[in-house]
Structure 1
Amino acid sequence: MSRFYKKLSALTLSEMLVVLLLTIIVVGLAFSILGLVQKQMFGIQENYERKTVDNLLQQGMWIDFNSNSRIEFSSKTNSIMLSNEIEEKQYGFYDGYVTRGRDTFFTDFKVGKLYFQGNEVMEGMIDAIELSTNYEKENDNMIFVYKKNTAADFMN
């Protein structure tokens, strides 16, 4: 009868519990690391979106400043009016956003300094503007936009 009995190799209950415990630890670590990676990715995405909006605002202002001959700032409405022979555009600066016609840029930039022919002015005709965020002094973001004045800009 002994020739019919074969011993099967298998894991004992204690060995199975050790394997199960190690698997739970590895899966738990994987999920916690996945959470950290997702948090980091969301931070990178948010920073990228904010920088993209700031760059779009800066590019739009560069184009508008250099394609318009008359640029005026009004401190009452906290806005810039740009005009040339064909069209007029307006930038409005508010808490948390900047408007440009129908476009809205969700950014914290505020009007810092205004310049006309190299001199700082408070309102009226301008040819350069400094925008800043003033979050904290070490993380202060700034945009400086100016236009090149031509003789045609002063003829009127």
Structure 2
Amino acid sequence: MKTKIRAFTLNEMVIVMIISTIVIGIAFTVLSLVQRHMWSIQQNFKLNTEFNRLEQALWIDTNNYSAIKYNKMEREIQFKTVLDSTTYHFKSDYVLRDRDTFHVQIEQKRFFFDGIKVSEGMVDAIQLNLSAKFKDQSIFVFKHNDAIQFIK
């Protein structure tokens, strides 16, 4: 007497393997796309964080120091009070503020005093245009002048 054992046929097993391979391939493709997207989000976040750090530091220094001078030869902005000073050095790939480094590329710098564009000397407003890497964003910081600025 022969007894039949219930089992899958070879054709059914091959079809299951083919379907499993297709599903796993699609899953890895989707995973790769998600990883690239997450990497892109991380890079944008990093760039925006650097941009915001520079803008915040400039706002704080602009409003904390009474005198701001730009030196064109040295490519630096110096913020001064009677007791303290801070200097920003503009390099090609970064901006150096004392011991702090901002990894941003400045395409164009404009400086103003009392609403008039100046190339160096006393400054009360700063406009920095960033590179295309930062989506051509710009920073504009200013301060209100006190009477000491106009006495000289």
Q: Give me the TM-score of the superposition, normalised by structure 1.
A: 0.90
Work out the CA distance in 2 between the residues paired with 1:145 and 1:133. Answer: 14
Q: Give me the TM-score of the superposition, normalised by structure 2.
A: 0.93
2:50 to 31, 50, 53: 53
1:72 to 56, 69, 73: 69
The aligned residue for residue 151 of structure 1 is 147
Q: What is the identity, as a one-letter code, of the residue corresponding to 2:93?
A: G
Work out the CA distance in 2 between the residues paired with 1:30 and 1:110. Answer: 43
Tell me, yes or no, if structure 1 residue 82 matches structure 2 residue 79.
yes
Deviation at 1:6, TM superposition (A): 3.2
RMSD: 1.6
**8 Å contact kept, 1:93–1:111:** no
Aligned residues between the structures: 151
Higher gyration radius (CA): 1
1:103 to 88, 100, 106: 100
Query: Gapped runs of 5+ residues in structure 2?
Result: none
1:44 to 38, 41, 46: 41
Query: Gapped runs of 5+ residues in structure 1?
Result: none
Work out the CA distance in 2 between the residues paired with 1:31 and 1:123. Answer: 57
Q: What is the identity, as a one-letter code, of the residue corresponding to 1:49?
A: K
The aligned residue for residue 109 of structure 2 is 112
The aligned residue for residue 126 of structure 1 is 123
Identity of aligned residues (%): 38
Cα deviation per residue 1:62-89 (whole Å; 9 max; x = unaligned)?
0000000110001101110110122110
